[in-house]
Structure 1
């Protein structure tokens, strides 16, 4: 297939581009040209800023079977890109996010769950509502030729958020570890390479519709045990469970302090970690083992001293919290 990838050099786009080339697709990249990678061969690079100049997409004879937009976050971007590509491109895949959902109160929520209530034409500033507007803009312009993919938290090598990297480094430190709740709160990560594979399957199968891309969640106690077993810290992990209310009162922030972890005991988060991806699984979404993802992230971190690591709780903060919650 002739693929046009908008973005395509950072995280998901990096893995997607490499995989598309490995699978034999003809790839054109459109981005600002900030990154290039030596293993990328036989691709066309169109340099431009989607917010300022789409002229490189308008060259004579340019035509693609499918465009994949990995980075749209403003409905004006969706409108301008559509205007440039309609007539030059047959189909479009938009990488959206599960942040479009209004809340995470319901377990097993699927693609029909309520979205943030914002109408096309209204202004929005938050990430989730903006993505809702982007979806609506693309749906209006592409109709049945559109596929919307809603990934959850992606992880893997080259992750600029460093969220899984924080967990890897903390497990590698070993020792006593102050953790929230009773170990039953759930995390729901997806390896970025599994996401990239499904994007290309959707392209090849000409899928339409909407698909959540998330891996079945895992309880925090199991998460810690499996990471420790794979990473084998020199000093064994000794979890110290503390009630969420006490930690929250002491300044712990949901999602931030323990990256992507939310207190499922709170009604608005009761369904987080239990989001359904059954529709995508039926269409071929696969999951590599957690241990493989963790090992690859640890290897990447070892060779990339400047890699981003999320700013979760530090050792000093953990010590202070122990004193406050006793």
Structure 2
């Protein structure tokens, strides 16, 4: 049994992770602002992680074997966590994102189109950090989400007095109504209602992961391995928007309608005109086995169909 602290853990794959940690016999503490209570038997510390003084007081004399940080979005939060958990944990697992590799948001080494992107093109040990930027401004953070994640990783890797592992997640799907981003629902609704899906002229593939698989990988990262640094978390089998829509079409009998983006228009989610589909080879070499997207996507679509609005056309 290990003592595990989860920061966040109130929804989607974080909520599932808490349940799986508890089910496998670990002593679990959840830290969040009180938006929802964890399962019975899980310690719940209600505090705003952005209030470092309050966090320090709330933690008190507690120590943990591992901290899993689900909600670290920028370097100021990471620096606060590095201080707050110094001497309180030996291992820290941060949930990051595929978007750290987006070449539209940073100058990155070029990866040939079609070559899965490896972890080392974003080196957190060398990435520059600027904590004076307006990270607490919601609009700024939203506009600089990928850079916020890159710099959060960098602070932990460069400054923390404990081992740091970073899980860079692919686009997460599944869970029906629990999939709070609404991105799969966007496609389901557009296909079933005969609405045009706005895509690039030549959309490139990206990678996905089921929310249950991501929870399982985070469980493994927290309790089943001692790697440090980043790992990419994605199922085998990249897809582009046409592949994704085809799975929906197969279950609905409705052919997708597409419209090519014009000018500065925003495309539908998962339509990309740039290549940054990740490689999962490091996680595999460390011992984690991934599913294939085809194994779970039809089920995720069926869940989304069950929770989406009825067709209007």
Asked if TM exceeds 0.5, the reply is yes
Larger Rg: 1
Which residue does 2:95 correspond to in 1? Answer: 95
Which of 211, 216, 237 is equivalent to 2:254? 237
Which of 115, 118, 123 is equivalent to 1:110? 118
Which residue does 2:262 correspond to in 1? Answer: 248
In structure 2, distance between residues paired with 1:45 and 1:299 = 30
Return the offset for 1:55. 3.5
Return the offset for 1:45. 0.6
1:220 equivalent to 2:235? Answer no
Which residue does 2:210 correspond to in 1? Answer: 191
1:164 equivalent to 2:188? Answer no
1:140 equivalent to 2:139? Answer no
For 1:268-307, what per-residue CA distance to the aligned partner results, in whole angstroms no more than 9, with x for missing partners?
x0x23x32121123330422644634434643674688xx
In structure 2, distance between residues paired with 1:48 and 1:296 = 34
1:119 equivalent to 2:119? Answer no
Q: What is the TM-score with the length of structure 1 in the denominator?
A: 0.76
Return the offset for 1:181. 5.6
Task: Verify the 8 A CA contact 2:199 2:271 in the aligned structure 1.
Answer: no
Task: Verify the 8 A CA contact 1:100 1:115 in the aligned structure 2.
Answer: no
Distance 1:219 1:132, change over 3 A: closer
In structure 1, distance between residues paired with 2:222 and 2:201 = 42
Q: What is the TM-score with the length of structure 2 in the denominator?
A: 0.79
Q: What SS class does the counterpart of residue 168 from structure 2 fall into?
A: strand
- Note the 1:41-56 alignment, pairs <5 A: 41-52=40-51, 53-56=54-57
In structure 1, distance between residues paired with 2:102 and 2:205 = 19
Distance 1:262 1:71, change over 3 A: same
Task: Verify the 8 A CA contact 1:2 1:65 in the aligned structure 2.
Answer: yes
Q: Which runs of 5+ in 1 are unaligned?
A: 264-268, 306-314, 317-326
Which residue does 2:271 correspond to in 1? Answer: 261
Return the offset for 1:122. 5.2
Task: Verify the 8 A CA contact 1:227 1:291 in the aligned structure 2.
Answer: no
Which residue does 1:74 correspond to in 2? Answer: 74
Task: Verify the 8 A CA contact 2:209 2:293 in the aligned structure 1.
Answer: no
Q: Which runs of 5+ in 2 are unaligned?
A: 105-109, 135-139
Return the offset for 1:68. 0.5
In structure 2, distance between residues paired with 1:180 and 1:304 = 21
Q: What SS class does the counterpart of residue 96 from structure 1 fall into?
A: strand
Distance 1:41 1:13, change over 3 A: same
